[in-house]
Amino acid sequence: MSPIRSICCLGAGYVGGPTCCIMAQQCPDITVTVVDKSVERIAAWNSSNLPIYEPGLQEVVEECRGKNLHFSTDIEQAIKQADLVFICVNTPTKTFGLGKGKAADLKYVELAARMIADTVEEGQGRKIVVEKSTVPVKAAESISNILRHNIKPGVTFQVLSNPEFLAEGTAIEDLLKPDRVLIGGEETEEGKEAISALGEVYRHWVPQERIITMNTWSSELSKLAANAFLAQRISSINSMSAVCEATGADVSEVAEAIGRDTRIGPKFLQASVGFGGSCFQKDILNLVYISECLNLPEVAEYWSQVVSFNNFQRFRFSQRIVECLFNTITDKKICLFGFAFKKNTGRVAKGDTRESAAIYIAKHLLDEGARLSIYDPKVTQQQMMMELTQPNISPESPDRIHNLVTCHSDPYSAAEGAHAVVVCTEWDEFVALDYARIYNTMTKPAFLFDGRKILDHENLIKIGFHVETIGKRLHRKNIERSWN
């Protein structure tokens, strides 16, 4: 079987863009073309202002673009020229119909498969199609069915599963030094040849022992299982944070103690206001739906509790803000530091706010009548307002949100006159702010709620702040004593 010389990626988003940039950098003998229907997105990839923010990505693009890395809207030409086609399209949770709120919507995957079948011309030989989007088990089988029933003379297709395991903010590092690369395919001679061909691409920079091959279904399920397990760890330590706050224990000390156990390990044991992003909740709900369809209600209920507790953690933190501010925040100004779901993520046009905890904290505070001022170093005002005016967040008219929410370009103006500052995202710059300056401009008593456990709490208390954080009691509750 001849080696891969040309790769096409359908979708220039968070998965396809960075993945193919690294492939181009590490495989100078392979031509990589990333295509997308969005003229605006492709124009951004071809500019100095990339549509995605990831540390190190800009340098990789500048090194390879125009050499063996290309960004284009000519989808048909890219498919025709490619030996291998990655499907990296969006797979959102369905918002209507069967599986609403849980199942993955595969319409874009199906459209991509049909486009490939329609575009490949007679006599083009073997084409390897690789699903990289997060999909439910047996999605590759659906892609194969579409391709098989629309095949042309002189063309053969092999469909592989090659899930991504990228964490936003560290995507380039994750791609360069992956823990593992999964490649799933058919257990036929042709399937094994296709797996080997894709494996050869990765072997340009990934050690052989980290490239794991398996059947397609195992590969697809492994992606959902990995995200479910990671989210489960976050909800587990967050459940401990509630116990710590009630008892006087410190969740960071508890996390260190259990993380020293080599069977458990220290990663994903940082208590916070909850997980966000495009993957964890979506993939768990997908797993819940699959379990329900397989008549495994106990399995579905088990995993749904991970999402339920994440929602509870956000609400619990919001309620704590209200309680500390004398049980009323009506018409009080509260400043949010951070709106992205985690640091080092985002796009030039809009930061990555998908399922951000800040959205739900803002919703709870707005429901209590607060006025919000928000600062985030990457998220634009347009993106913040778009999230806060979604029907599930703000059922009332958008005008109400525009009246109650102001967005700021610097943290000091955002905090001026505020009753409380709430840290929702762990941006590094928040650690280095002049909190004495912030304190002097705030309404007193000045409260600071550290939802990410990144600040020096003792120093903040010395400045004069009333400080609250996750999983630790910084101020002892009044204890009633009886005097004889």
Residue 410 three-state SS = coil
Cβ burial of 391 (10 Å; 0-12, 13-18, 19+) is exposed
Distance separating alpha carbons of residues 400 and 29, to the nearest angstrom:
56
Distance separating alpha carbons of residues 426 and 422, to the nearest angstrom:
11
Residue 122 neighbours by CB distance under 10 Å: 9
Give residue for tokens 């259990």: 258
Examine the residue annotation and report whether 279 is marked as an active-site residue of this protein: yes
Q: What is the spatial order of strands in the sheet that 155-161 belongs to?
A: 69-72, 31-35, 6-10, 84-87, 125-131, 155-161, 181-185, 211-215
Instruction: Give the pair of three-digit tokens for residue 19.
Output: 């993945």
With beta carbons less than 8 A apart as the criterion, state whether 418 and 443 touch.
yes
Residues sharing a CB contact under 8 Å with residue 226, sequence separation 6 or more, in sequence order: 165
Which of 204, 135, 220, 165 is CA-nearest to residue 14? 165
Distance separating alpha carbons of residues 115 and 75, to the nearest angstrom:
9
What is the length of the chain? Answer: 484
Cβ burial of 293 (10 Å; 0-12, 13-18, 19+) is middle
Which of 47, 361, 418 is CA-nearest to residue 353? 361
Per-state percent for the chain, helix, strand, coil, to nearest 5: 45, 15, 40
Cβ burial of 73 (10 Å; 0-12, 13-18, 19+) is middle
Residue 280 neighbours by CB distance under 10 Å: 23
The DSSP secondary-structure symbol of 430 reads G
Instruction: Give the pair of three-digit tokens for residue 457.
Output: 């709490």
Peptide bond preceding 445 in cis form (omega within 30 of 0): yes
Q: Point out the catalytic residue in the list 20, 27, 88, 279.
A: 279
* DSSP string covering 389-406: TSTTT--S-HHHHHHHEE
Distance separating alpha carbons of residues 279 and 134, to the nearest angstrom:
8
Active-site residues: which are they? 279
